[in-house]
Amino acid sequence: MTRITNITAIGLEHHLGIDNAYGMARGMTPVRNMTLIEIETDAGITGIGESWGPCPMVASSLDVVRPYFLGREIFDREQIVHYFYNQRYHLGIQNTITSTVGGINMALYDAMGKLYDLPLCKLLGGQGIDRVPAYASSGYFAANPAYQLGDQMLGFRDDHFPGVKIKIGHSPGNDVERVAMGREVLGPDILLMVDANGNYTVDEALESMRRIADYNIHFYEEPLPPTDFAGYTELRARAPMPIAAGEALYTAWDFKRLIDERCADIVQPDITLCGGLDETRAIWQMIRLANLRLSLHVWGGGVGLAAAVHFLAALSPSPHTDRIPHPVMLEYDRGTNALRSDLLVTPIACIDGHLTVPDGPGLGIEINRDMVEKYRVG
């Protein structure tokens, strides 16, 4: 049997500088971060994962979680997690405890894949596709005058992305200006998505939607704060376009309410935040049974991106068979982020708007240790 002997957390930060900060309606960030989770085993196999959240908080959370995993077999994933959550229920789930557990879960899958010499997608149900369609996530609010919306959009059409997402949410008036510019650059055929990052109330979101409805919006992401479930239910009943939500929710329990109350048309779990691959599979089953759509949220480093690519490669296109109106697209962040572009020895290839599924065992990636040392914090 293969048992866990140690779990470590390595905080990584890429500092962009104030002049190069970019972000969303709620504010801009001058730093991109992630925490690399590494699991060591008595078989000499090391599994890697990624956790979302401020690096010191993930490290502190690991101190709480680690004792439950040490000495256990790498196959005991769900046994350990359910025991932990039930025993330490007072800690709650909407915090970095959950994202830390998710990083461990990802690392355990990576270790299992390496043990059996199988790519992660094979462990998740089989590989259905070799390339995953992606949409370019960009169109940020930016501090640099040379990095505004029009500059960011250049090249996405020529790179053949099937869709592009841009940030909105400053005001309904500003929204229509940004959407009009985005549609003009992209043309009529590329899917256009927008993201307000929860900066509106129901009435403000409706005003924004009505103003941009003529620009053929594929979906409107996070118009309201993430846990305003009643607001989402009301808004979806009145919205002139599909709503996407879920990136800031934790575990299947949060998503159960989002799905049961029909708050969104497209559900967006983030593997590095919501609790890992097993939790994302549970969320996907609820999405499938509710006949809703999935679009994985990815806004971290190269490890989480690799996990998301594998997850979608193993996904059956329910309820479709041979004809899929809108294939599930993966968010592909195009903002400056060395933790995505430089952390892996061989970055995930993006060709004609599609991400290539790594074919090595586990996640199929190798960490560039020089980059780890360059961006390590703490």
Per-residue pLDDT of the chain in tens (378 residues, 90 and over written 9): 899 999 999 999 999 999 999 999 999 999 999 999 999 999 999 999 999 999 999 999 999 999 999 999 999 999 999 999 999 999 888 899 999 999 999 999 999 999 999 999 999 999 999 999 999 999 999 988 877 788 788 778 888 899 999 999 999 999 999 999 999 999 999 999 999 999 999 999 999 999 999 999 999 999 999 999 999 999 999 999 999 999 999 999 999 999 999 999 999 999 999 999 999 999 999 999 999 999 999 999 999 999 999 999 999 877 888 888 888 999 999 999 999 999 999 999 999 999 999 999 999 999 999 999 999 997
Instruction: Please indicate, yes or no, if residue 364 is contained in any of the structural domains.
Output: no
What would the DSSP string read from start to end of 79-118?
Answer: HHHHHHHHHTGGG-SSSHHHHHHHHHHHHHHHHHHHHHT-
Geometric angle at alpha carbon 241, from 238 and 245, rounded to 5° = 90
Instruction: Please indicate, yes or no, if residue 316 is contained in any of the structural domains.
Output: yes
Q: What is the CATH number of the domain that holds 112?
A: 3.30.390.10
Does residue 129 sit in the same domain as residue 67? no
Does residue 263 sit in the same domain as residue 187? yes
| Domain housing 145 | 122-356
Does residue 38 sit in the same domain as residue 149? no
Does residue 264 sit in the same domain as residue 138? yes
Does residue 142 sit in the same domain as residue 46? no
Does residue 284 sit in the same domain as residue 175? yes
Does residue 48 sit in the same domain as residue 150? no
Does residue 249 sit in the same domain as residue 132? yes
For 232-253, the pLDDT digits (tens) are 999 999 999 999 999 999 999 9
pLDDT of residue 322: 80
**What's the token pair of residue 305?**
């991106």
* Whole-Å CA distances, 226 to 198, 243, 248, 276: 6, 12, 6, 19
CB 36 within 8 A of CB 178: no
Instruction: Please indicate, yes or no, if residue 362 is contained in any of the structural domains.
Output: no
Q: Residue 229: left (phi > 0), alpha (psi -120 to 50), or beta?
A: alpha
Instruction: Please indicate, yes or no, if residue 99 is contained in any of the structural domains.
Output: yes
pLDDT of residue 316: 85
pLDDT of residue 47: 98
Does residue 149 sit in the same domain as residue 217? yes
In terms of Cα–Cα distance, which of 273, 298, 313, 306 is closest to 124? Answer: 313
Does residue 112 sit in the same domain as residue 128? no
Does residue 107 sit in the same domain as residue 182? no
22-24 and 141-142 strand pairing = antiparallel
Instruction: Please indicate, yes or no, if residue 263 is contained in any of the structural domains.
Output: yes
For 308-338, the pLDDT digits (tens) are 999 999 998 778 888 888 889 999 999 999 9
In terms of Cα–Cα distance, which of 88, 57, 56, 61 is closest to 7? Answer: 61
Q: What is the CATH number of the domain that holds 174?
A: 3.20.20.120
pLDDT of residue 152: 80
Does residue 146 sit in the same domain as residue 92? no
pLDDT of residue 361: 98
pLDDT of residue 115: 98
pLDDT of residue 348: 97
Q: Which residues are catalytic?
A: 297
Instruction: Give the type of residue at 204.
Output: E
Number of domains in the chain: 2
Instruction: Please indicate, yes or no, if residue 273 is contained in any of the structural domains.
Output: yes
pLDDT of residue 144: 86
